[in-house]
Amino acid sequence: MSSERPNGLFRNIPAKVAAIPMIITALVVFMGGSLWTMAYSLTKSKLLPKWKFVGLDQYERLWSTKRWVVSIENLFIYGVCMLIASFVIGFILAALMDQKIRFENTFRTIILYPFALSFIVTGLVWQWILNPEFGIQSIIRGLGFTSFEFDPLYNADIAIYGILIAGLWQGTGLIMVLMLAGLRGIDQEIWKAAKVDGIPTWKTYLFIVIPMMRPVFITTLVLVAASIVKVYDLIVAQTGGGPGISTEMPAKYVYDYMFGGQNLGQGFAASTMMLLAVLVVVIPWAYLEFGGKKRG
Amino acid sequence: MKTLRTLFVATTALCATTAAFAADLEVTHWWTSGGEAAAVGELAKAFDARTDHHWVDGAIAGSGSTARPIMISRITGGDPMAATQFNHGRQAEELVEAGLMRDLTDIAEAGKWREVINPPSLLDACTVDGKVYCAPLNIHSWQWLWLSHKAYADAGVPVPTNWDEFVAAAPALEAAGIVPMAMGKQGWQQSGAFNVMMISLLPKEIFLQVYGDKDADVAAGADVARIFKAAADARAMASNSNVQDWNQATNLVITGKAGGQIMGDWAQGEFQVAEMTAGEDYTCLPGLGVNRTLQAGGDAFYFPVLKDAETTAAQGELAALLLDPEVQVAFNLKKGSLPVRGDVDLAAANDCMKKGLDILATGDAIPDFNQLVSSDTRVQIEDLFVEFFADASMTPEAAQERFAAIIADAD
């Protein structure tokens, strides 16, 4: 990063030599792999990559496939809800945890615990909890409310929200811990100053603390966004994409067509679209993070 | 450093001792239901008993559509198993073309496979450019309707003898609180049932024109429209069958909670495990009781090319063993499928298997779906039917239009 200075290229040679493996990995493995995928998404490769150029045919087919369009819609619903809900819940939990409560360690462990479980376990647990015959519905009916209905996983219109509940349960703990770390990083003097000025606590949080936590928010945003785009195992474990195709996700489409359908070209085209979605998130982040530093 | 060296020596020693023993063959397959597991157990037993080698079971739960991607990624990723199940046909086509599968021609010639395997189309499906790449194991056909006697007795209607009666009896079953038709909510089961209806309710030429010649006009035509109507009937009848796996659906029929199920003859194995007798406790209708036509598909074992000479030799022994008459009988009786050898004694076969053998003997067998279409097309069709069967608001006409578009692009 010091190469901004005019003759920076030859400064600190040992450090630069040490960085060469990392640079090569980044260029060859990450960039090279992505470029290779993009190139082969323009071919009609089946089970094995073959260079038979077909232009944008794979993309045309991709966007005229209903399952893909549904997947993108689902990703959008899941993504927006997940981002907003996990930030709000995570921040509120962290703020509550920050009130110098007793047994903070215990609560923190309990709330972070779901994050230690894999998405597969999470998916299976919530599949049972939301199953009308064994889960919440049957328990509440057992209490006497016989007309109670709660079976999100069996109703195609709302099944994606059933997935969202499980995703939030699993992921909110991590957000809370990150936010809590951010809150702890705020200087106590600022709180004291705000108190002296008579600013209510909620206002202090909203207008002073949150803006100061920008770096934490941005890091969390990238973590959550990446986990949203690649969501796969949760779907496989919880609904398998059903009922019908109502909870399909792009990553599952990629896998199913690449290996199940033995159509690499189609899978590559879909994963290139996913890469685009990630870039849409990462580029503004990189700009804010690194561009911001330059200005400061 | 010293610890590390000790570790290396220990590992090397361990490898050396393993190599001195007979080869362990890892065999992957997706046979996990009760009847299937019993059948594969017969293969493992025979292999362990008759050779010096050891069968390492690599069962992958789920279904073929879950297992195949795992198998393929292992083979293409350079971590091949010693042997693996695939369905006959085009599923492993490209792996063979890429030289990842072992040529079994010498073993096939030694075992005179060309003479003993009946119908010969099964061996043809294993043959690429005159070389044999897989060992056919059994014959499966999809075109069966399994009916529960208990369910029809409870509803007070006679057991249907064909598809139309089956549809007509549905309201009586529903009135008695029985699901008229059991169907797992997985694409392969739903598209499979659709193909069964197409073969059984229409002349077989139409099936061959749609999937064999990929004729989109036929696929969009009036005959196929009738099948989409029948599929909509099936959708209505199966709307309350809340199960995923095929064997769970079969279990609904076994316990009399559902009237019937369209499923391949592998369902037979489940009835057998439940100790039910064909004709008394359940009825099987080949060709849905309409057309006496069966598709001869089935399972075959493929042997990826391995570097280790010893394991390669063991592969050969396994391939020869699979076609052994005794193994064929033991395996197929448990599995509910038909043996690939025409010359073995199947006196122990039950009613349903005999009906199937009869039809195959009269030669009314057509190639399997998997031999006609590529996996890509198969997955697209499965996606379509998953959607169609889950969404009662999708009209047969809309589904047929998309079906015809898939066929037009198929390869």
B54 beta partners? B24
Within 8 A of B91 by CB-CB distance, chain A residues are: 262
Decide if pLDDT at B254 tops 80. yes
Cα distances (Å, whole numbers) of residue B169 to B152, B162, B234: 9, 11, 12
Nearest chain A Cα distance for residue B69, angstroms: 5
Cα distances (Å, whole numbers) of residue A254 to A48, A95, B10, B215, B327: 15, 39, 42, 28, 40
Q: For chains A and B, count residue pairs whose Cβ atoms are closer than 8 Å.
A: 72
Higher pLDDT, B66 or B102: B102
**pLDDT at position B8:** 53
Looking up tokens 């008993």 gives: B49
CATH number, span B24-140+297-362? 3.40.190.10
**Mean pLDDT of all residues in B373-384:** 90
In the β-sheet with B282-286, what is the strand arrangement from edge to edge? Answer: B179-181, B258-262, B144-148, B282-286
* Cis-peptide into A243, omega within 30 deg: yes
B139–A contact, CB cutoff 8 A: no
**pLDDT at position A37:** 92
Nearest-10 Cα torsion for B58, B62, B64, B67: -50
**pLDDT at position B3:** 55
What backbone phi and psi angles, to 5 degrees, belong to B160? -60, 155
**Token duo for residue B355:** 């009906």
d(CA B266, CA B356): 12
Between A61, A244, A261, which is nearest B386 by CB? A244
| A69 close to A250: Cβ distance less than 8 angstroms | no
Decide if pLDDT at B11 tops 70. no
Decide if pLDDT at A160 tops 60. yes
**Mean pLDDT of all residues in A75-79:** 92
d(CA B11, CA B343): 49
Cα distances (Å, whole numbers) of residue B239 to B31, B142, B255, B386: 27, 21, 18, 13
**Token duo for residue B35:** 């009847």
The per-residue DSSP string of A134-167 comes to TSHHHHHHHTT-TT----GGG-TTTHHHHHHHHH
Cβ–Cβ gap B375/A255 under 8 Å: no
Decide if pLDDT at B16 tops 60. no
d(CA B173, CA B175): 5
Between B72, B186, B389, which is nearest A259 by CB? B72
Between B242, B376, B409, which is nearest A262 by CB? B376
| B145 close to B163: Cβ distance less than 8 angstroms | yes
**Mean pLDDT of all residues in B394-406:** 92
- Taking CA–CA distances from B98, the nearest residue in chain A reads A48
**Token duo for residue B241:** 């069958």
In terms of DSSP bridges, do strands B54-59 and B24-29 run parallel, antiparallel, or are they unpaired?
parallel
Specify the range with the lowest mean pLDDT, choosing from A145-159, B20-34, B357-371.
B357-371
B390–A contact, CB cutoff 8 A: yes
**pLDDT at position A293:** 55
A252 — pLDDT class (breaks 50, 70, 90): very high
The per-residue DSSP string of A227-275 comes to HHHT--HHHHHHTTT-STTTT--HHHHHHIIIIIS--HHHHHHHHHHHH
**pLDDT at position B197:** 92
User: So where are chain B's domains?
Assistant: 24-140+297-362, 144-295+368-409
Largest CA distance in chain B: 80
**Mean pLDDT of all residues in B177-196:** 91
Looking up tokens 């599949």 gives: A127
Tell me the HSE value of B263 on the side-chain side, using a 13 A CA sphere: 29
d(CA B228, CA B230): 5
Higher pLDDT, B122 or B383: B383
**pLDDT at position B362:** 76
**Token duo for residue B157:** 């209607």
| B187 close to B383: Cβ distance less than 8 angstroms | yes
* Cis-peptide into A215, omega within 30 deg: no
**Mean pLDDT of all residues in B118-122:** 80
- Taking CA–CA distances from B99, the nearest residue in chain A reads A48
Cβ–Cβ gap A47/B95 under 8 Å: yes
Cβ–Cβ gap A262/B387 under 8 Å: no
**Mean pLDDT of all residues in B365-380:** 84
Higher pLDDT, A32 or B1: A32
Mutation site, B72, B190, B257, B383, interface A, largest A CB count within 10 A: B383
State the distance between the two ends of chain A, measured CA to CA, in whole angstroms. 15
pLDDT tens digits, A40-62: 999 988 878 888 888 888 999 99
What is residue A43's DSSP assignment?
B
B362–A contact, CB cutoff 8 A: no
Question: What is the H or E stretch that residue A110 is in?
Answer: helix A104-116
- Given phi > 0 = left and psi -120 to 50 = alpha, else beta, which region is B284? beta
**pLDDT at position A149:** 82
Within 8 A of B73 by CB-CB distance, chain A residues are: 259
Nearest to A275 by CA among A49, A38, A73, A44: A38
pLDDT tens digits, B125-154: 888 888 999 999 988 888 999 999 999 999
- Given phi > 0 = left and psi -120 to 50 = alpha, else beta, which region is B289? left
Mean of all residue pLDDT scores within chain A: 87
**pLDDT at position B399:** 93
Decide if pLDDT at B178 tops 70. yes
Buried-exposed string B292-325: b where 16+ CB fall within 10 A, e elsewhere:
ebbbbbbbbbbbbebeeeebeebbebbbbbbbbe
Between B94, B383, B389, which is nearest A46 by CB? B94
Specify the range with the lowest mean pLDDT, choosing from B92-96, B220-224, B283-287, B383-387.
B92-96
pLDDT over 70, % of chain A: 95
B374–A contact, CB cutoff 8 A: yes
pLDDT tens digits, B289-328: 888 888 878 889 999 999 888 888 889 889 999 988 889 8
d(CA B192, CA B203): 17
Decide if pLDDT at B264 tops 60. yes
Cβ–Cβ gap B376/A46 under 8 Å: yes
CATH superfamily of B144-295+368-409: Periplasmic binding protein-like II (3.40.190.10)
B245–A contact, CB cutoff 8 A: no
Mean of all residue pLDDT scores within chain B: 86
**pLDDT at position B15:** 45
B2 — pLDDT class (breaks 50, 70, 90): low
pLDDT tens digits, A96-143: 988 888 888 898 889 888 888 888 999 999 988 888 878 888 888 888
Determine what percent of chain A falls in helix, strand and coil, rounding each to the nearest 5: 75, 0, 25
H/E/C letters for each residue in chain B? CHHHHHHHHHHHHHHHHHHHCCCEEEEEECCCCHHHHHHHHHHHHHHHHHCCCEEEEEECCCCHHHHHHHHHHHHHCCCCCCEEEEECCHHHHHHHHCCCECCCHHHHHHCCHHHHECCCHHHHHHEECCEECEEECEEECCCEEEEEHHHHHHHCCCCCCCHHHHHHCHHHHHHCCCEEECCCCCHHHHHHHHHHHHHHHCCHHHHHHHHHCCCHHHHCCHHHHHHHHHHHHHHHHCCCCCCCCHHHHHHHHHCCCEEEEECCCCHHHHHHHCCCCECCCEEEEEHHHCCCCEEEECEEEECECCCCHHHHHHHHHHHHHHCCHHHHHHHHHHHCCEECECCCCCCCCCHHHHHHHHHHHCCCEEECHHHHCCHHHHHHHHHHHHHHHHCCCCCHHHHHHHHHHHHHHCC
**pLDDT at position B1:** 46
B185 — pLDDT class (breaks 50, 70, 90): confident
Nearest chain B Cα distance for residue A260, angstroms: 5
d(CA B53, CA B24): 6
Within 8 A of A65 by CB-CB distance, chain B residues are: 380, 383
| B84 close to B302: Cβ distance less than 8 angstroms | yes
Decide if pLDDT at A1 tops 70. no
Cβ–Cβ gap B386/A245 under 8 Å: yes
Cβ–Cβ gap A154/B390 under 8 Å: no
State the distance between the two ends of chain B, measured CA to CA, in whole angstroms. 58
B379–A contact, CB cutoff 8 A: yes
d(CA B100, CA A100): 63
Decide if pLDDT at B359 tops 60. yes
Count of CB atoms within 10 A of residue A154's CB?
Answer: 16
Cβ–Cβ gap A263/B376 under 8 Å: yes
d(CA A64, CA B401): 14
In one letter, which amino acid is A133?
Answer: E
Nearest chain A Cα distance for residue B208, angstroms: 22
Decide if pLDDT at B13 tops 70. no
How many residues can be counted in chain A? 296
Within 8 A of A260 by CB-CB distance, chain B residues are: 65, 68-69, 375, 379
The two domains B24-140+297-362 and B144-295+368-409 share their CATH topology (first three levels equal): yes
**pLDDT at position A7:** 64
- Taking CA–CA distances from A265, the nearest residue in chain B reads B376
**pLDDT at position B76:** 86
B269 — pLDDT class (breaks 50, 70, 90): confident
d(CA B55, CA B23): 9
Cβ–Cβ gap A67/B65 under 8 Å: no
